[in-house]
Amino acid sequence: MTLQIAVAQLNFVVGDMPGNAQKIIDAARTAYAQGARLLLTPELSICAYICEDLFLRPSFIAACDEAVKTVARETAGLTDMAIVVGHPVGKGQRGKSITVSQRTNSASVIRDGRVIETYAKRLLPNYQVFDERRYFVPGQGTCVFQAGGVSVGLLICEDAWFDEPAQLAKEAGAELLAVINASPFHVGKGYEREAMMIERVKAVGLPLVYAHLVGGQDEVVFEGHSFAVGPDAQLAGRAPSFEEKLWFVQAQRAPAAIELKASKAPARDHDADLWDALVMGLRDYMGKNGFRTAALGLSGGIDSALVLALAVDALGAGNVHAVMMPSPYTAGISVEDAREMARRVGVHYAEISIRPEFESFKASLQPLFAGKPEDTTEENIQARIRGVMLMALSNKHGHLVLACGNKSEYAVGYSTLYGDMCGGFAPIKDVVKTAVFRLARWRNAHNPFGTVANPIPERIITRPPSAELREGQTDQDSLPPYEVLDAIIERYMENDLGVAELVAEGFRPEDVELVTRLIKINEYKRRQSAEGTRVTHRGFGKDWRYPMTNRFRA
* Weakly modelled stretches of the chain, pLDDT under 50: none
Q: Is 281 annotated as a binding residue?
A: no
Residue 385 neighbours by CB distance under 10 Å: 21
Residue 271 phi/psi, 5-degree rounding, is: -70, -30
What gap in Å lies between CA 229 and CA 82, rounded to an integer?
Answer: 21
Q: What is the pLDDT of residues 360-407, one digit of tens each?
A: 999 999 999 999 999 999 999 999 999 999 999 999 999 999 999 999
Ordered by where they begin, the domains of the chain are 2-268 (3.60.110.10), 272-478 (3.40.50.620)
Extract the runs of DSSP E, i.e. beta strands, from 225-345: 227-229, 235-238, 245-253, 258-262, 294-297, 320-324
Q: N- to C-terminal Cα distance for the chain?
A: 62
Give the dihedral of Cα atoms 414, 417, 420, 426; nearest 10 deg: 90
Q: Is 525 annotated as a binding residue?
A: yes
Residue 402 phi/psi, 5-degree rounding, is: -100, 125
What lies within 8 Å, CB to CB, of 447 at 6+ separation is: 453
| DSSP-assigned states of every residue in 375-439 | -HHHHHHHHHHHHHHHHHHHHHH-PEEBP---HHHHHHT-S-TTTTT-SSB-TTTT--HHHHHHH
For residue 279, give the nearest of 216, 329, 330, 328 by alpha carbon: 216
Q: What is the pLDDT of residue 473?
A: 62
Q: Is the pTM of this model over 0.85?
A: yes
DSSP H or E run through 445: helix 433-445
Q: What is the pLDDT of residue 359?
A: 95
Per-position b or e across 66-80, b if 16+ CB within 10 A of its CB: ebbebbbebbeebee
Q: Is 304 annotated as a binding residue?
A: yes
Q: What is the pLDDT of residue 61?
A: 95
Q: What is the pLDDT of residue 222?
A: 98
Q: What is the pLDDT of residue 470?
A: 66
Q: Is 364 annotated as a binding residue?
A: no
Q: What is the pLDDT of residue 475?
A: 63
Q: What is the pLDDT of residues 530-550, one digit of tens each?
A: 999 999 999 999 989 998 999
| DSSP-assigned states of every residue in 172-185 | TT-SEEEEEE----
| Cβ atoms of 177 and 160 closer than 8 Å | yes
| Cβ atoms of 211 and 42 closer than 8 Å | yes
Give the dihedral of Cα atoms 474, 478, 483, 485; nearest 10 deg: -150
- What sign results for the dihedral spanned by CA atoms 457, 463, 465, 468? negative
For residue 224, give the nearest of 258, 175, 190 by alpha carbon: 190
Radius of gyration of the chain (CA): 26
Residue 451 neighbours by CB distance under 10 Å: 16
Q: Is 406 annotated as a binding residue?
A: no
Q: What is the pLDDT of residue 516?
A: 96
Task: Catalogue the active-site residues.
Answer: 43, 121, 157
Q: What is the pLDDT of residue 199?
A: 97
Question: Is residue 112 exposed (0-12), middle (13-18) or buried (19+ Cβ within 10 Å)?
Answer: middle
Q: What is the pLDDT of residue 99?
A: 57
- In sequence order, the β-bridge partners of residue 40 are 7, 84
DSSP state, residue 477 = G
Residue positions counted in the chain: 554
Q: What is the pLDDT of residue 347?
A: 98
| Cβ atoms of 547 and 523 closer than 8 Å | yes
| Cβ atoms of 242 and 271 closer than 8 Å | no
